[in-house]
Amino acid sequence: MLHGHHGELTVGEMLRRHGISRRSFIKFCTAAASAMALPPSVGLAMAEQLRQAPRPSVVYLSFQECTGCLESLTRSFAPTIENLIFNIISLDYDDTLMAAAGEAAESARTKAMQDNFGKYVLIVDGSVPTGAGGAYCTAGGRSAVDTLREAAKGAAAIVCVGTCSSFGGIPFADPNPTGAWPVTAIVGDKPIINVSGCPPIPEVITGTLLQLVATGKVPDLDEHRRPKVFFGNTIHDRCYRRPFYDQGKFAKSFDDEGARNGWCLYELGCKGPTTYNACATLKWNGGTSFPIESGHGCLGCSEPGFWDKGSFYAAQSAAAWGKAGEVSPRQVLEVTATAAAAGAVIGAASAGVSRLRQHRSEQHGIGRESKGDE
């Protein structure tokens, strides 16, 4: 499905030109395959596929975002960002990474899109604000929504990097003042891959792109269009603290004995059981650790609407109603006491009606009896 950059070399030719041996390339592919939890044999197959694969042109658009996703991408270890953008893909436009600015940068984008129409990969970072005619996010005098629609027309596939472009993210959270939407709400006729996370794990971004280039096809996706290879399991399923959950050992506060012993953070609001991501296996910063390993529960940042799902510190099974998503015992007491008081009034009234009926029927009966006596 993917085609090479206009007048460009294949990945194999590019690597040869840079003096990268077959051996070190296979090593690199095996490392990338293991990052995706694939067997080493896949690394070899991937190397062969990649060698013959065309280097696709990539256009990276940043909309309503914080650049955290790009910051994350630049910290990728397997493959590294420089290996990715110099050898595997041809990054033709990224307004944050490119040296050019202003009209020079915009004309580079336009040229890449014209030369590779129907073949390039479009990466979108950030949600797309539609409020006030799209005025909340503009670049080069054009709104994000217009730029996205134009760029999507000639894209072979769209990769949404981060929860904002995938699901709307923080800008989409209630009350969504800018009328922000995810890419899927704007573009309906293109293959879209969501690489969610706030930010996504760097190796998940590069691994997804690598898989896309190696196979030329959209990988297997889950119901939220996320690659199953990275988003197939919950954090909870792969969490090293899972045995403590199974044993019923829970930390009750962030500085108690349980927390010091590394017990499960479920009761402190960990969203691991409902969050699909690879944090517990790939981890962060080159496999150093991940939030739960650092003593904090998962926020569920790779799930749709994570910002509006109640407190980060309330257990998943906790009651949650009201604006803030939490409910205090005092509120529960007020609600239940009011309901109980109303119930008592209805009960007393129904007993009163019953007594009245009994009384009437007795009087009626007595009247009939006395008539009969006469």
Partner 1 sequence: MDLLSLARGPALKVALVVFCLGVTWRIVGFTLLRVHRDLNKPRASIAKFLAGGLITVGSRSWPHQEFIGRTGAGEALGYSYHLGLFAVVLLFGPHIAFLGSLFGVTWPGLPSSLITVISVLTLTLFLAVLFRRVTNPVMRMLSNFDDYFSWFITMLVIVTGLAATAHIGAPYQTLLALHILSVDVLLLWFPFGKLMHAFYIFPSRAINGAILARKGATS
Residue of 6, 16, 21, 24 whose CA lies nearest to 80: 24
- 291-330 positions binding partner 1, by CB under 8 A: 304-305, 309-310, 314-321, 325-329
H helix count then E strand count, the chain: 17, 9
C-alpha–C-alpha distance, residues 38 and 50, integer Å: 16
Are 41 and 83 in contact, with CB atoms under 8 Å apart?
A: no
Rg (CA), the chain: 29
What mask, x for binding partner 1 by CB under 8 A, covers residues 213 to 252?
Answer: ---------------------x-xx-------xxxxxx-x
Of 21, 340, 360, 368, the one binding partner 1 (CB under 8 A) is: 340
- In angstroms, the Cα distances linking 284 to 2, 203, 370 are 30, 9, 93
Residues 230, 33 contacting (CB under 8 angstroms): no
105 near partner 1, judged by CB under 8 A: no
- Whether 83 contacts 112, CB under 8 Å: no
In the complex, minimum distance from the CB of residue 17 to partner 1, in angstroms, rounded to a whole number: 46
| Residues near 228 by beta carbon (within 8 Å), at least 6 away in sequence | 219, 220, 221, 222
Give me the 269-288 binding string for partner 1, x by CB under 8 A, dash otherwise. Answer: ----xx-x------------
Q: Is 253 in the site for partner 1 (CB under 8 A)?
A: no
Comparing CB distances to partner 1, the nearer of 135 and 353 is 353
In the list 24, 41, 107, 354, the residue contacting partner 1 (rule: CB under 8 A) is 354
Report the residue number, 135 or 348, with the smaller CB distance to partner 1: 348
- Taking the least distance from each CB to partner 1, the nearer of 10 and 233 is 233
CA distance 315 to 323: 17
Query: Using an 8 Å Cβ cutoff, are 57 and 5 in contact?
Result: yes
The nearest distance, CB 174 to partner 1, in angstroms, is 11
Sign, Cα dihedral of 280, 281, 282, 288: positive
* Of the candidate residues 27, 355, 364, 368, the single one contacting partner 1 (CB under 8 A): 355
- The binding track of 155-194 with respect to partner 1, each residue x by CB under 8 A or -, is ----------------------------------------
- Minimum distance from CB of 31 to partner 1 (Å)? 30
Residue corresponding to tokens 């199974």? 246
By the rule CB under 8 A, 350 interacts with partner 1: yes
Answer for which of 107, 336, 361, 363 binds partner 1 (CB under 8 A) is: 336
Q: Compute the least distance from the CB of residue 219 to partner 1, in Å.
A: 19
Q: Which of 254, 280, 247, 255 is nearest to 268 (CA)?
A: 254
Selected range binding partner 1 among 19-27, 51-59, 211-219, 342-350, rule: CB under 8 A: 342-350
Residue 35, token pair as written in the block: 């990052």
Residue type, 161: V
Positive or negative, the CA dihedral 183, 188, 190, 195 is positive
Tell the residue number behind the tokens 């879209």, with chain if given.
192
The interface region with partner 1, picked from 5-13, 107-115, 121-129, 351-359 by CB under 8 A, is: 351-359
What's the min distance (Å) between Cβ of 87 and partner 1? Answer: 37
Q: Quick one: 82 or 334, whose CB is closer to partner 1?
A: 334
**Helices 144-153 and 102-115 meet at what angle, rounded to 10?**
30
Question: Considering beta carbons, is residue 266 or 284 the nearer one to partner 1?
Answer: 266
- The DSSP-derived string for 147-175 is HHHHHHHTEEEEEEESHHHHH-HHHHSTT
- Pick from 351, 361, 364, 365 the residue near partner 1 by CB under 8 A: 351
Residue ranges in contact with partner 1 by CB under 8 A: 234, 236-237, 245-250, 252, 264, 266-267, 273-274, 276, 304-305, 309-310, 314-321, 325-329, 332, 335-337, 339-344, 346-348, 350-352, 354-355, 358
